[in-house]
Chains A and B, each alone.
Chain A
Amino acid sequence: MSHYDVIVIGAGVIGASVAHHVATLGAKSVLVLDRGTIGAGTTSQSSGLLRTHYSVRQNVELARSSWHAFNNFAAYVDDDDASCGLVKCGYMICAPEGDKLAPLQASLDAQQGMGIEVQLLSRAEARERLPIAQFDDAALIGYEPEAGFADAYLVATGFARSARRRGVKFMENTNVTGLVRDGRRVTGVQTSAGTFSCGMLISTQNIWTPELAGWIGVPLPVKPERHTVLALECDVAPYTFKMPAYKDLGSPGMLYFRSYGGSQMLVSEGVVGETLNAPETEQGDISLDYVGEVGEQVAERFPAYETAGLASSWTGVYDVTPDWNPVLGSVGDIEGLTVGFGFSGHGFKLSPGIGKILAQHALGQTTDVSLSPYALDRFASGALLVGKYGSGAVS
């Protein structure tokens, strides 16, 4: 039976980032197992937005260190050829008078307090940056210049390539079927390709985390939730790469927008999606009625899009926890196990930072950001990490 210092289950963007970080932080032998192929699960469905705007302070810290990694990706993974596909277009967030105004003000204040560059824009300044939108009802407009979007699949494969260069072994199309235990300690994994022993197991199983819950007998609250993304095309009002990504807290669906391919608009709802009975990443059905409903909301903000065409549409799946924030660290009284799950739609933007702190925790090192707010027992103690905007990925 082969032995590894660290075994990682799941080669999505989080698992690949963990692999890169455990290798750079000193693990001698590392194995990554994935049921499919690197980055092919929920990672490949990410809209890829990058921002540091969060109402939960710990997330701001992680997003800030992650942004640094994305903004200097080649240097971060020490590979001149590496790219994360970053489009640094900035991020604009806007609220009308009403219940979203105070949380937005507080979040922007908190960001500024943490030294993050956030500008408050007048309606005219907002129109200048995003001329295809109207801001007549905007009461508060925040703008982060150091933000934009990137390609989650490129990041996953970039981290994986870096990890491989450092000796990490990846086994794709390999199913983990159970754990090897010595009392409370996890000592290995059983897989479709045999049994492997390890000093530390890191689970980054995303929507498949309930399998782990079954193996260790500890309930892990996470549900797969499907969200729909539309790409709209409007010849007279192209959404260019120069225009910022945009979050509309005033729309019923709390829509987010960004350029798609330099001319189309990518738009999706930032509210609760469709809970699935079982974890799967297959494309879900998208009704024309739904397209019409979202289109109506889009046209409120982007008047020319009233006549937009539907260029394409797809679905992606979030691993959602009850408070829409991840669980990081150890669980229950299980030794030799570190988990990271429940990223609830904001895993990609935090993936470099999360990968690092999970690696640090697994290797017994001091973590850059405290894991205690992300502990599993918060669901029992009630110390939830609920964002100021309620349920949804903006958190």
Chain B
Amino acid sequence: MKILVPVKRVVDANVRVRIGSAGGVDTAGLKMSLNPFDECAVEQALRLREAGVASCVTVLTCGLPVCQDVLRTALAMGADNAVLIDTAGASPDSLGIARLLHAFIGADTDTDAYGLVLCGKQAIDDDIGGVAAMLAALLGWPQALNASAIEATGSSWLVTCGDDAGTATWRLDGPAVVSADLRLADPRRVTLPSIVKAKQKPLRTLDAATFNVALDTPIRTMEIAEPAVRQPGIKVADTAALLGAIGSARLLQNVGA
């Protein structure tokens, strides 16, 4: 059984993004990284392979050739092979990406089939988090989102997912789509020898057009704006003035509601 880990190249979490003169987010020359949630997914996939559950970990990204650098990072972490689906000029949305992944899995004729798609729960650039659920729907596979633990039991996956409402453990039968939160697995460090080894590993480039799926998006960007500048705080003289200021700013109006 193979594991497919779809990943995304994003602007590094330590970079303060800015709007460039062209009106979009300016990333020229800035530090780019493998999306941190995807890094957790890669790590968990490697652990499943190392535990003998999976035979092979494939990492895949959709985008321009420059996105190969995050595939190389994943290969250096230990993934077996990588695929770039070159989207050329298209900028597919979550559904477009899910369609490409669906088509890619459908076109795989290997007798050793994909038994798990393990991806990050969201990308830190657009924070949409839509691909996993959309892909599961297209494949007709069970899904578990925001996973903090995963275990293989026979032909099923036991997946622990958590959100503000609590923790649930799901059993997914057969091939499944699981998205990782940061607790799933602490990513290993890329080592110097693995960087060299990663260069020898197979990295295929496929043309998105050959999959014959609709990549046009009904989503239109209306405006991109910097967040509002935080206004400075005020200093008050004593407790009475503090209570007065809190009262007049109506900060506590919803408390107890």
Contacts and interface: CB of A to CB of B under 8 A. Distances in A.
Interface of A: 232-233, 276, 282-289, 291-292, 295-296, 298-299, 305-311, 314-315
B71 to A, nearest CB: 10
Contacts, number: 62
Given A282-B16, A283-B14, 10 more contacts: A282-B30, A283-B30, A283-B31, A285-B32, A295-B195, A307-B191, A309-B188, A309-B191, A310-B189, A314-B14
Which 10 A-B pairs have CB atoms at the shortest separation, nearest pair first?
A309-B189, A295-B192, A283-B31, A292-B195, A309-B191, A283-B15, A310-B190, A285-B31, A288-B195, A288-B72
Nearest to A226: B29
B176 interface: no
B69 interface: yes
Given A282-B30, A314-B14, A287 B191 contact: no
Interface in B166-192: 188-192
Given A292-B196, A314-B14, A284 B29 contact: yes
Given A282-B15, A288-B73, A308 B192 contact: yes
A288 B190 CA distance: 9
B195 A291 contact: yes
B193 interface: yes
B123 interface: no
A309 B30 CA distance: 23
Contacts of B32: 285
Q: Which of B72, B188, B191, B192 has the most CB of A within 10 A?
A: B192
Interface string B182-226: 000000111111011010000000000000000000000000000
Give the interface residue-count category, chain B: 20 to 34
Contacts of A287: 69
26 contacts: A232-B192, A233-B189, A276-B29, A282-B16, A283-B30, A283-B31, A284-B30, A284-B31, A285-B29, A285-B32, A286-B31, A288-B73, A288-B190, A288-B195, A288-B198, A291-B190, A291-B195, A295-B195, A305-B192, A306-B192, A308-B191, A309-B188, A310-B189, A310-B190, A311-B189, A314-B14
A311 B31 CA distance: 16
Q: Which of A283, A284, A305 has the most CB of B within 10 A?
A: A283
Contacts of A309: 188-192
B132 interface: no
Contacts of A299: 192
Contacts of B16: 282
Nearest to B232: A173
B76 interface: yes
Contacts of B72: 288
B80 interface: no
Q: Which of B12, B16, B188 has the most CB of A within 10 A?
A: B12
Q: Which of A309, A314, A315 has the most CB of B within 10 A?
A: A309
A299 B191 CA distance: 12
Nearest to B26: A282
A232 B32 CA distance: 19
B193 A307 contact: yes
Contacts of B12: 283
A276 B188 CA distance: 32
Nearest to B31: A283
A286 B69 CA distance: 10
Contacts of B189: 233, 309-311
Contact of B192 (A285, A292, A315): A292
A232 B193 CA distance: 13
Contacts of B193: 306-307
Contacts of B15: 282-283
Contacts of A283: 12, 14-15, 30-31
Contacts of A286: 31
Contacts of B30: 282-285
Interface string B55-75: 000000000000001001100
Contacts of A310: 189-192
Contacts of A285: 29-32
Contacts of B188: 309
Q: Which of A298, A308, A310 has the most CB of B within 10 A?
A: A310
A311 B15 CA distance: 18
Nearest to B32: A285
Nearest to B195: A292
A48 B191 CA distance: 26
Contacts of B191: 307-310
Interface in B1-38: 12, 14-16, 18, 29-32
